[in-house]
Chains A and B, each alone.
Chain A
Amino acid sequence: MSASQILVPGWMEIVESAVHDEARQHAEEAALAALVDQYASTLYRVAFSVLRNQQDAEDSVQEAFLRVLRHREALGEIRDHRVWLVRIVWNIVLDRKRRAKTRPETDDIADLARVLPANGLSAEQRAAALQHHARVLACVEKLPAREREVMMLSAFEELSSVEIAAVLEVTESSVRSRLFRARNLLAELLQHKRSTT
């Protein structure tokens, strides 16, 4: 058996496996691109609702998809991609928020002023609305972490209580009870704030 007889089949196998790998890589990239197209804006809104900063929210979305890229072999095993992606970005933003310093209320107002639509309001009305939103967000921040998380996720129209339970890895009944507590606490906090000011 000559050396060429040995090398040629081996080389052919390398080429075949390389072609196969390349095709698989292309397929994975296409699947990932489809996920980006479908869910990037949802993930961005989830991230923004917690971080309330455009750049941080976009960074979180990118980080979430980078994590998906690292575990792209597992994409086929995921049953519900949306819940899975929301859970990834949720963990990222909570981690970022934990590490970041507490934001003053004035920062919230400034950021909201940049992103909220005017909706035909006058300058005074708009300023009053921004103040109100900032006050509400400050009260939301005062809620216990469990209740706050459920409250924030429940604001998303596209997430059912079952899906919220899946994101937070708790039972659905737990989500409902936390939401009930969160609403009561928030009402009390807002009432207290209104009476003090």
Chain B
Amino acid sequence: MSPSSENRSVPTAGALTAEETLRLIATLPAPEELENRVKAKLQSAPHRRNVIVWPFAAADSWMRAAAAAAIVVVIAGGGWGVYSHIQVAPVPSAVVEPQPLNGAGRFSTAGAMHVPQTVQGPVVATPVIEKEHATDQVPRMKEKAHKRGTPSSTERKRTK
């Protein structure tokens, strides 16, 4: 059984005409010199292998080691050279801060002072307490109570 007959299993009338069209297109000859044009295109295409080969490949491993060491020395030496040329400034013992201009850097008030106009509130006079007078009052009160005949708190306890 050929591949084509294998594919064409029970086609309907409409499909048959459609497949004839497709088959007609599928059997159209390729244009002349197509192969040559494709080959020319392939030859003009850039090749991928553009890597430079290591010139002393596997000949002397010590040369590779020497080259690697030289690279390391050059890089390390360069780094050290840069480091040695940088002069680190001495750290001051006290940091002098610059005087801030107008406080936080704002415009100056030109000496003007803002005094809010407030309502004159009541003035509370602070009471003057005479200490001697206050201490003298306690025995006087006791005397008064004694005269009236009312027992003092200690006497009341005793009577109970």
Chain A interface residues toward B at CB < 8 A:
6-7, 9-11, 13-14, 17-18, 21, 25, 29, 32-33, 36-37, 40-41, 44-45, 48-49, 52, 54, 58, 61-62, 65-66, 69-70, 112, 115-116, 132-133, 136-137, 139-140, 151-152, 154-161, 163-164, 176, 179-180, 182-184, 186-191
Q: How far is the CB of B114 from chain A (nearest CB, A)?
A: 75
Q: How far is the CB of A150 from chain B (nearest CB, A)?
A: 9
Inter-subunit contact B30/A191 (CB<8 Å): no
Inter-subunit contact B41/A66 (CB<8 Å): yes
Inter-subunit contact A70/B3 (CB<8 Å): no
Q: How far is the CA of A19 from the CA of B142 in the complex (A)?
A: 135
Known: A36-B35, A154-B7, A160-B6. 5 other contacts (CB 8 A): A10-B57, A21-B49, A45-B30, A65-B38, A157-B2
- With beta carbons under 8 angstroms apart, the residue of B3, B9, B42 that contacts A159 is B3
Contacts A6-B59, A13-B58, A61-B38 hold; do A156 and B26 have CB atoms under 8 A apart? yes
Q: How far is the CA of A116 from the CA of B3 in the complex (A)?
A: 24
A58: chain B residues at CB < 8 Å are: 31, 34, 37
Q: How far is the CA of A139 from the CA of B21 in the complex (A)?
A: 11
Q: How far is the CB of B28 from chain A (nearest CB, A)?
A: 6
Inter-subunit contact A191/B14 (CB<8 Å): yes
Residue from the set B26, B29, B58 with the largest chain A CB neighbour count within 10 Å: B26
A-B contact count (CB 8 A): 145
Residue from the set B15, B48, B63 with the largest chain A CB neighbour count within 10 Å: B15
Inter-subunit contact B12/A137 (CB<8 Å): no
Taking residues whose C-beta sits less than 8 angstroms from the other chain, chain B's interface range is 35 or more
B14: chain A residues at CB < 8 Å are: 186-191
- In B14-53, the 8 Å CB interface with A consists of 14-15, 17-19, 21-31, 34-35, 37-39, 41-42, 45, 47-49, 53
Q: How far is the CA of A45 from the CA of B30 in the complex (A)?
A: 7
Q: How far is the CB of B30 from chain A (nearest CB, A)?
A: 4
Inter-subunit contact A70/B31 (CB<8 Å): no
Inter-subunit contact A36/B38 (CB<8 Å): yes
Inter-subunit contact A155/B19 (CB<8 Å): yes
Contacts A66-B45, A140-B22, A183-B12 hold; do A157 and B28 have CB atoms under 8 A apart? no
Q: How far is the CB of A33 from chain B (nearest CB, A)?
A: 6
Q: How far is the CB of B14 from chain A (nearest CB, A)?
A: 3
B9: chain A residues at CB < 8 Å are: 176, 179-180
Q: How far is the CB of A145 from chain B (nearest CB, A)?
A: 16
Inter-subunit contact A9/B23 (CB<8 Å): no
Q: How far is the CA of A25 from the CA of B49 in the complex (A)?
A: 10
B28: chain A residues at CB < 8 Å are: 45, 48, 115-116
Q: How far is the CB of A4 from chain B (nearest CB, A)?
A: 12
Q: List 16 A-B contacts (CB under 8 A).
A: A7-B56, A36-B35, A36-B39, A37-B35, A44-B31, A62-B41, A65-B41, A140-B18, A155-B22, A155-B23, A155-B25, A156-B26, A157-B3, A186-B18, A187-B14, A190-B14
